[in-house]
Amino acid sequence: MNIDFTINGTKASVDVPAEMPLLWVVRDELGLKGTKYGCGKALCGACTLHVDGEAVRSCSFPVSAAAGKTVTTLEGLSPSEEKLHPIQQAWIDEQVPQCGYCQPGFMMAAAKLIKDIPNPTDEDIRSNISNICRCGTHPRIIKAIRRAAELQRISATL
């Protein structure tokens, strides 16, 4: 069965079982390796991407639920090749990653957060982002999200 959707601005059509997790499709069928497999049970957040602007845990999201929708992965987060998304810039500025494995999921969850809450408090960040980092980068992630929110506010005024 063919399932059609848009991913990072490009049309995709995949012939896979309807119940296949979107993560499998993104990584193995479409070759986009930025989105990571962690727990496979919607617990860790490593596989977070956006479907129609909502952050979803793609290890537990059937590809059929993405039919006709717009999927964005970390590879498609920046608005253009020349311009980083505020989350990407802040992650660089704050030197967030350690091993890096969990970071794409955190970045996608964080991008959704600052879209919904343009000036989040530390409590907003803690209560809205339940992703797990085994390297313990959470303090830098909180700093980076606040920085990204500031960058986003600045660019909105330009």
Binding site for ligand FES (CB under 6 A): 37-40, 42-47, 57, 59, 97-103, 133-135, 137
CB crowding 74-93: b at 16 or more within 10 Å, else e:
bbbbeeeeeebbbbbbbbee
Shortest distance in whole angstroms from residue 7 CB to ligand FES: 18
**Least distance in angstroms from the C-beta of 71 to ligand FES:** 15
Residue 107 or 148 with smaller CB distance to ligand FES: 107
Quickly tell me which residue has 């600052």 as its tokens.
114
Give residues with Cβ within 8 angstroms of 109, minimum separation 6: 45, 48, 55, 128, 129, 131
How far apart (Å, rounded) are the C-alpha atoms in residues 105 and 17?
A: 24
Choose between 45 and 86: whose C-beta lies nearer to ligand FES.
45
Min CB(131)–ligand FES separation in Å: 8
Least distance CB 48 / ligand FES (angstroms): 7
Q: Which residues, listed in sequence order, are joined to residue 3 by a DSSP beta bridge?
A: 14
Which residue lies nearer to ligand FES by CB, 7 or 102? 102
Amino acid occupying residue 153: R
Nearer to ligand FES, 45 or 120 (CB): 45
Least separation, in Å, of the C-beta of 118 and ligand FES?
25
- Close Cβ partners of 31 (under 8 Å, ≥ 6 residues apart): none
Q: Report how far residue 84's alpha carbon sits from residue 101's, in angstroms, rounded to the nearest whole number.
A: 20
Rounded Cα–Cα distance for residues 70 and 92 (Å): 27
Minimum CB distance to ligand FES smaller for 22 or for 152: 22
